[in-house]
Amino acid sequence: MNTEGATSSGVAKDGALDSSSTAKRNSKKPKYSRFTQQELPACKPILTPGWVMTSFIFVGIIFIPIGFASLFASERVVEIVDRYDEDCVPRNYSYNKLAYIQNNATNKTCTKRLIVPKQMKSPIYIYYQLDNFYQNHRRYVKSRSDQQLRSTASEDVTSNCKPEAVTKNNSAIVPCGLIAWSLFNDTYGFSVKNKVLDVSKRNIAWKSDQEQKFGSDVYPKNFQSGSLIGGAKLNASIPLSDQEDLIVWMRTAALPTFRKLYGKIETDLEANDEITVVIQNNYNTYSFGGKKRLVLSTTSWIGGKNDFLGVAYLTVGGLCLFMAISFILLYVIKPRPLGDPSYLSWNRGTMN
Amino acid sequence: MPEGRRRGIHFSKIYSFACCRSKFEEQHAQIGKRGYSRVVYVNDPDNPEAVQSKYRGNYVSTTKYTLANFVAKSLFEQFRRVANMYFLVVACVSFSPLAPYSALSVLGPLLLVIGATMAKEGVEDWRRRMQDKEANNQKVKVYGRNYTFNETKWMKLRVGDLIKVCKDEYFPADLILLSSSYADGICYVETMNLDGETNLKLKHSLEVTSHLCDEKSFQKFRAVIKCEDPNEHLYSFVGTLCYDGKEYPLSLKNMLLRDSKLKNTEYIYGVVVFTGHDTKVMQNAIDPPSKRSKIEKKMDKIIYVLFSVLILIAFVGSVFFGIETKKDISDGRYRRWYLRPDDTTVFFDPKRALLSAFLHFLTALMLYGYLIPISLYVSIEIVKVLQSIFINQDQDMYHEETERPAQARTSNLNEELGQVDTILSDKTGTLTCNSMEFVKCSIAGTAYGHGMTEVERALARRRGDALPEASDVLSDVQGHDGDPVDSRKSIRGFNFRDERIMNGKWVKEPHSDIIQKFFRVLAICHTAIPEENKGAGEISYEAESPDEAAFVIAAREIGFEFFKRTQSSIWLWELDYETSNRVVRKYEVLQVLEFSSSRKRMSVIVRNEENQLLLLCKGADSVMFGRLSKDGRLFESQTKDHIKKYAESGLRIMVTAYRELGEEEYRPWEEKFQKAKTSLIADRDISVDELANEVERDLTLLGATAIEDKLQKGVPECIEKLAQAGIKIWVLTGDKMETAVNVGYACSLLRQDMKQIVITLDSPDIDALEKLGDKDAIAQASFKSIGKQISEGISQINSVEESAEFGLIIDGKSLEHSLKKNVEKSFFDLAKKCSSVICCRSSPKQKALVTRLVKLETGKTTLSIGDGANDVGMLQEADIGVGISGVEGMQAVMASDFSIAQFRFLERLLLVHGHWCYRRISMMICYFFYKNIAFGFTLFWFEAYASFSGQPAYNDWYMSFYNVFFTSLPVIALGVFDQDVSARFCLKYPILYLEGVENLHFSWPRILGWMFNGVISSIIIFFFTTKSMINQAFRRDGQVVDFEVLGVTMYTCVVWAVNCQMALSVNYFTWIQHLFIWGSIAFWYIFLVIYGSLPPNVSTTAYRVFTEACAPSALYWLVTLFVVICTLLPLFSYRAFQTRFKPTYLDIIQRKRLEDLETQNSSETRPFKQKLHRLRERLRQREL
């Protein structure tokens, strides 16, 4: 207690000196400010049981409604996922899918029927989902030329694009690089009750990509003209900014399993409608064991079907409430724990 | 000859100068040989030979860098750190295609970090340069061509220049004294800056040059000095002066050293021998050993741990990468055909998978480099500088009287202050003021002086007595404070209160004649010089020691004012006790028999106005009582009683006596004495001593004086607090055992209830052996005796119940033996068991040795504190050296790491600043590792999903700004401002300091805990983000998460998580913390917006990613919220349960504070009080 007195009196004395002696200004005495004396007003949070409980309960109360809300939103989303890479290979090729896909002569058309489980309100988004496809591989990600895509002037900037940079006679490939070269080329045709569903391919790419990253005066050139053909070919008369499939593809995926937008269906589908999908199964995922899926999905405010987030919110929220309750119970049952281990160890110390 | 010169006194009469006459010694034979080759052409610096010898100029530079080498040298310093070297290599390699990111994004932060450190170095060096400039541009008078003295700058001085230095000026270089204002060519020098001694030293010129005293006489003066080469020995000098074809020996007595000051002498003429860096003081100025704190050393280890982690994960990554790449071509089939494995570079070549894997390993080393915090070193340096500013600015460590604030002279030991385990303290000037105060005396068997000494007061306090003279004590304390409330003017060196003899009342005392004689002895028997302060009319004294000054002052205050000294007489104002008038009396000083440590006494023989011959003598009680005459022992028994009491009160005692000499006895003695003094035979000193002995006998006892070596204010309280904080205190002093023990009691180091273990060699058998002089036998016997005493001590401790405390007292000689190899260990076993240790009679070297051994033996942090030049070794040896910037010189302060004005400030320095700095730095480092691991591992997890190809998950610039902008300021704020509890509570509960001593905040479990937390955070961030966002659309418009969006989302989570984690760990939220923490997060969004709005060729993958893709998506925000809360939960729950079930001291004290703040709910606080009590108990256990 005496130090308290000492310091406070010290402060008082200092204060008196400060006010009384302006003459002593030039002394080496440190000037008083709350900053230099480390006495700034501050809030000093302490983990009291009250605070602990309050924060746990608070997190619980916030999280559980969010969890329910997102689960509910996810519930409203109707999603049809259909894997077709196996089914679309004829029986006789099932042991050598690679030969089937690499053979230009084989018939790649394949028809699948999908049942709409619930009513799907437009727009219905069509995705293709690839598996085990490393679009995030460093060699792959870097194998593009943004400058070339943007303007015709830098058509020859293809240094990053090797080995898909130039043709044999040294003229630049536009768009160059492995990403463009391996453009996805499966196509889907949809019909319900023998009525063909229109697939809109407009506005499936990001606006910024279309406007800024892909030039409206850049046209495909020498594309897929080499001996090895990777994926889809491009219509050389359409500028890159309008090749939305390419733009979507060029926006590389983060993980080896990814979905990409294929198009939109602008009409509603009723429950139990049977959709006939005619698939051109061109793309080779067989060599690396990648699955191919066709996804039809509606969206809600949280996007596509996403139960994970809701469940996760609910779990963590519940956990927090549980913690809060157990804390309260502890507090009620044993306000001051006798079984405090540190307590005991000190006692033991004095005993010996 | 000028008039001023003649008024000097022939001090040679007072001091026995004959012994100072220069003689050629053995060393002089070496002149001209190796190591003694310097030749100085006096007054002729333009002599062609002098020019040829090219001695250095007088320019002194203490800067670390020069303009030319600054860049190279400071860069070299920077890259000596492993981490910085690593980043440099990374930056270089990043220009190659190996790099996973752009070179600029690595180079940017590195340049920023290096630049900041270099700027700091530059500013510091600039300050040093300014100081140098000031010193170098001081003015001095040099004898020039026109045969007058002209002013010039110090730095322009050359070897051989003849200069004039006036009173109170510093010598600009090492000089040989030619002549002075005194006719016999002496001068007084104060060497405070060299050795810290405040007393004046006497220097004198050669007789041949002492007549040179004006400008004309120098006109033709030419001489050559041959002397030793520049060296660092302050106490030796060998040279010869060749003048007029003769050679005269020169020694240190003729030398005036740079940075010492001319005192009491109007002016001197001297010739420059050593300049600039050749001067002895500069030769001594070697860089102090650079000290690094334990935390920093440990931090290096952690950096190595991180490097190993880095190498490990890079290795794991490249193994997987190699396997994956190898599989890309099998049997001529291309697996991942989209990578074109058939036409690839060496980095991804399946045919050379092993080589690719190795190259990938290098790439990975760069990619995961974010595990190593690039900004750690520079942040710590910034933080420490700011912390030092806080220490310097602390008003509570400012000493009003000396106008000195505390000063952190090095900033890299701040946190070490929080871990001190043992304090090794000097006594004089550190625990005590080193101002001797005359407090008591015993005259004619009557004790005078009421004042209570510090020791008595401490004893009274221990016994719990009410202080008997409370009012007196109060006025005493105030008097010490210099409080004007006290009507009696406080006089330095005088704290004597007794109305019986003060204010001239002594004449009414029964033995007034003896009182008169007593004070006359004090007023006459000394070697002090009076100095009249112009204007005030007061007289002050220049004395060789503070004791002596105290005597003269005491005599003055009683009414025997010594005011004038001529070469052969002393003049006093005296109170004539018959007429009660002040009269002038003159005493003719005939002889001075000087004080020496072997004689332990001093006498003067004077003739008073009544033509009586008197021998006045004062000396130590041990030698004086044997010299009393039969009739002179009248008051012996009473005086001895008083002396015993004084000694117990911790006072220094001097006995005074006198003798009347008969003319017939004196004459023949004087003749013999003069002859002995002037003789040149080797045993001159012995014969002088014998003659002195002959006359100093048959004395009549007058009385005894008691002088207090006053304890500094607040020392006992401070020591008590430090002891409560679990700090052990050792006192190392040169004093006698009795004095040391007394002071030990006074400052509560020793307590009445403590058992003392005394180890000493003062036993009869060893004394007997010493007389025989057989060194081996002495050593052996001492060794045996010490060993025995130590083992006895240990068994004594072991036999007693553990509640008792022990104090160990050991003297210098025993210490010397105890520190020898085979007893060392048992000595430390003993010392560790004692709560306080006092080593008395120890030399400076022993002090340093003990310090080193304590440091090595305990392995804990040691702090030594001292004020004088004799403590320098100890200060440099200890982990932390604290200098007292008190009355003694600056030597200790210059060698120290921190300087404070008073010992009591140590409490605040350690318990408050030390504690805070330790917490801050260790938390800061832990947090640094946390944040970099949390970030670095997200990269690794992402790699696992990118077939370890080395593709970073984030945009290059997000990554490089991570350490520099998004997370740097909050951690700096933590390091500078965080406080677990306020200063008041730090002092109130010294137990908190144990956190530092036990190194709780920087123990391996704590560090690994934080690292583990970092890994957990990274897992939560990566997996929860990907799981909740990947594959399905993340917006209403059906867009899916791609590479760019995932990067931004994860990065957002990282920034939030590490900053919120910081907010959780901060104990002290001022607006600065709020600004930095929330500002950093806000800055990330601002950065995203600005960077994203730059054209796509600049912003690449970040182009509009936030504004277009993320911000409108509800999922993005929900994921951020979810992930951030999840990363916080582990630490929060851990802390919640830990404060609940295993509260630390801090938790308890914080709770206590809170409960104190709330209305005093007594039922709530009681258990806490009990707990605190237990904590104290535990602390006591620890001490044992």
Give chain B's mean pLDDT: 82
Residue with token string 């889907």: A188
- Which helix (H) or strand (E) segment holds residue B271: the answer is strand B267-274
CB of B1133 within 8 Å of a chain A CB? The answer is yes
DSSP codes joined into one string, B519-533: HHHHHHSS--EEEEP
pLDDT of B15: 42
Q: What whole-number distance in Å separates Cα of residue B438 and Cα of residue A123?
A: 103
| B608-667 per-position pLDDT tens digit | 888 888 999 988 887 888 888 888 787 888 888 888 888 777 777 889 999 888 888 888
Q: Which of A179, A255, A321 to mutate to test the interface with B (most CBs of B within 10 A)?
A: A255
CB neighbours of B392 closer than 8 A, spacing ≥ 6?
A30, B405, B406, B407, B408
Which two three-digit tokens encode residue B344?
């690839």
Q: What whole-number distance in Å separates Cα of residue B724 and Cα of residue B1173?
A: 12
Q: Quickly state the pLDDT bin for B3 (edges 50, 70, 90).
A: very low
Higher pLDDT, B231 or B285: B231
B1068 contacts in chain A (CB < 8 Å): 42, 44
The shortest C-alpha distance from B328 to chain A (Å) reads 9
Using CA coordinates, name the residue in chain B closest to A134. Answer: B946
Taking an 8 Å cut-off on Cβ atoms, the answer to whether A346 and B1068 are in contact is no
Q: Of A44, A150, A287, which is closest to B333 when you measure between CB atoms?
A: A287
Give the active site residues of B: 426
A207 contacts in chain B (CB < 8 Å): 1108
pLDDT of B1: 37
pLDDT of A342: 39
| B193-238 per-position pLDDT tens digit | 666 555 677 787 887 888 877 777 788 888 888 888 888 777 778 8
Position B492 pLDDT exceeds 80: no
Taking an 8 Å cut-off on Cβ atoms, the answer to whether B987 and A213 are in contact is no
Residue B699 DSSP code: B
The shortest C-alpha distance from A110 to chain B (Å) reads 24
Taking an 8 Å cut-off on Cβ atoms, the answer to whether B1038 and A264 are in contact is yes
Question: Vertex A265, ends A260 and A271: CA angle to 5°?
Answer: 110
**Whether B103 contacts B94, CB under 8 Å:** yes
pLDDT of B99: 81
pLDDT of A75: 93
Position B736 pLDDT exceeds 80: no
Which of B994, B998, B996, B989 is closest to B1173 using CA atoms? B989
Q: Quickly state the pLDDT bin for B1047 (edges 50, 70, 90).
A: very high
Residue B546 burial class via C-beta count within 10 angstroms: exposed 0-12, middle 13-18, buried 19 and up: buried
Report CA torsion sign: B54, B60, B65, B68: negative
A340 contacts in chain B (CB < 8 Å): 1141-1142
pLDDT of A280: 92
Taking an 8 Å cut-off on Cβ atoms, the answer to whether B1069 and A44 are in contact is yes
Paired strand residues for A184: none
What is each CA distance from B1152 to A43, A276, B43, B1070, in whole angstroms?
A: 16, 74, 76, 21
CB of B1089 within 8 Å of a chain A CB? The answer is no
Higher pLDDT, B1041 or B513: B1041
> Rounded mean pLDDT of B874-887?
84
Position B403 pLDDT exceeds 90: no
pLDDT of B23: 55
Q: What whole-number distance in Å separates Cα of residue B198 and Cα of residue B429?
A: 12
Q: Of A31, A137, A264, which is closest to B949 when you measure between CB atoms?
A: A137
Q: How many CB atoms lie within 10 A of CB B703?
A: 28
pLDDT of A351: 31
| B551-570 per-position pLDDT tens digit | 888 888 888 888 888 777 88
CB of B1076 within 8 Å of a chain A CB? The answer is no
The shortest C-alpha distance from A85 to chain B (Å) reads 16
Higher pLDDT, A10 or B131: B131
Q: What whole-number distance in Å separates Cα of residue B427 and Cα of residue B815?
A: 17
Using CA coordinates, name the residue in chain A closest to B1115. Answer: A302
Residue B964 DSSP code: I
What is each CA distance from B47 to A329, B41, B50, B160, in whole angstroms?
A: 98, 7, 5, 10
Position B999 pLDDT exceeds 70: yes
pLDDT of A248: 94
Using CA coordinates, name the residue in chain A closest to B1173. Answer: A346
Taking an 8 Å cut-off on Cβ atoms, the answer to whether A28 and B951 are in contact is no
Q: What whole-number distance in Å separates Cα of residue A127 and Cα of residue A80?
A: 10
Percentage of chain B exceeding pLDDT 90: 19
CB of B405 within 8 Å of a chain A CB? The answer is yes
Taking an 8 Å cut-off on Cβ atoms, the answer to whether B404 and A63 are in contact is no
Q: Of A43, A48, A125, which is closest to B1038 when you measure between CB atoms?
A: A125
Position A182 pLDDT exceeds 80: yes
Helix axes B1114-1141, B1043-1065, angle to 10 degrees: 30
CB neighbours of B1180 closer than 8 A, spacing ≥ 6?
none
Q: Which amino acid is at B265?
A: T
Using CA coordinates, name the residue in chain B closest to A205. Answer: B1039
Position A347 pLDDT exceeds 70: no
pLDDT of B1117: 95
CB of B1068 within 8 Å of a chain A CB? The answer is yes
Residue B854 C-alpha from the chain's centroid: 17
CB of B95 within 8 Å of a chain A CB? The answer is no
Taking an 8 Å cut-off on Cβ atoms, the answer to whether A323 and B1034 are in contact is no
Q: Which amino acid is at B848?
A: A
Residue A66 DSSP code: H
Question: Distance from first CA to last CA of chain B, Å, rounded?
Answer: 74
Q: What whole-number distance in Å separates Cα of residue B124 and Cα of residue B126?
A: 5
Q: Quickly state the pLDDT bin for A16 (edges 50, 70, 90).
A: very low
| A156-177 per-position pLDDT tens digit | 888 888 888 888 888 889 899 9
What is each CA distance from B1183 to A112, B604, B719, B1177, B1179, in whole angstroms?
A: 84, 53, 15, 10, 6
Taking an 8 Å cut-off on Cβ atoms, the answer to whether B1115 and A66 are in contact is no
Higher pLDDT, B919 or B833: B919
Taking an 8 Å cut-off on Cβ atoms, the answer to whether A138 and B946 are in contact is yes
Which of B347, B344, B327 is closest to B336 using CA atoms? B327
Q: What whole-number distance in Å separates Cα of residue B733 and Cα of residue B641?
A: 27
Q: Which of B1031, B1074, B1104 to mutate to test the interface with A (most CBs of A within 10 A)?
A: B1031
Taking an 8 Å cut-off on Cβ atoms, the answer to whether A36 and B393 are in contact is yes
pLDDT of A349: 32
pLDDT of B845: 76
Length of chain A measured in residues: 352
> Rounded mean pLDDT of B680-704?
79
> Rounded mean pLDDT of B858-866?
89
Q: Of B1034, B1040, B1113, which is closest to A261 when you measure between CB atoms?
A: B1040
Q: How many CB atoms lie within 10 A of CB B274?
A: 30
Which of B114, B95, B113 is closest to B366 using CA atoms? B95
Length of chain B measured in residues: 1184
B1066 contacts in chain A (CB < 8 Å): 45
Question: Which range (B144-153, B169-178, B266-275) has the least confidence?
Answer: B144-153
CB of B1110 within 8 Å of a chain A CB? The answer is no
Q: Which of B395, B1093, B1164 to mutate to test the interface with A (most CBs of A within 10 A)?
A: B395
Q: Quickly state the pLDDT bin for B535 (edges 50, 70, 90).
A: low
pLDDT of A198: 92
Higher pLDDT, B801 or B691: B691
**Whether B665 contacts B722, CB under 8 Å:** no
Which of B225, B175, B218, B166 is closest to B58 using CA atoms? B175
| A99-117 per-position pLDDT tens digit | 888 888 888 899 999 999 9
pLDDT of B11: 46
Where is mean pLDDT largest: A212-226, B215-229, B572-586? A212-226
| B334-379 per-position pLDDT tens digit | 889 998 888 888 888 888 899 999 999 999 988 998 888 888 888 8
The shortest C-alpha distance from B524 to chain A (Å) reads 40
Q: Of B405, B1070, B1104, which is closest to A208 when you measure between CB atoms?
A: B1104
| B416-454 per-position pLDDT tens digit | 999 999 999 988 778 887 777 888 888 888 888 887 776
Taking an 8 Å cut-off on Cβ atoms, the answer to whether B1042 and A254 are in contact is yes
Q: Of A135, A140, A254, which is closest to B1041 when you measure between CB atoms?
A: A254
Position B7 pLDDT exceeds 70: no
Q: Quickly state the pLDDT bin for B1179 (edges 50, 70, 90).
A: low
Q: Which residues 157-176 on chain B approach chain A with CB closer than 8 angstroms?
A: none
A286 contacts in chain B (CB < 8 Å): none
User: Is residue B459 classed as helix, strand or coil in its secondary structure?
Assistant: helix
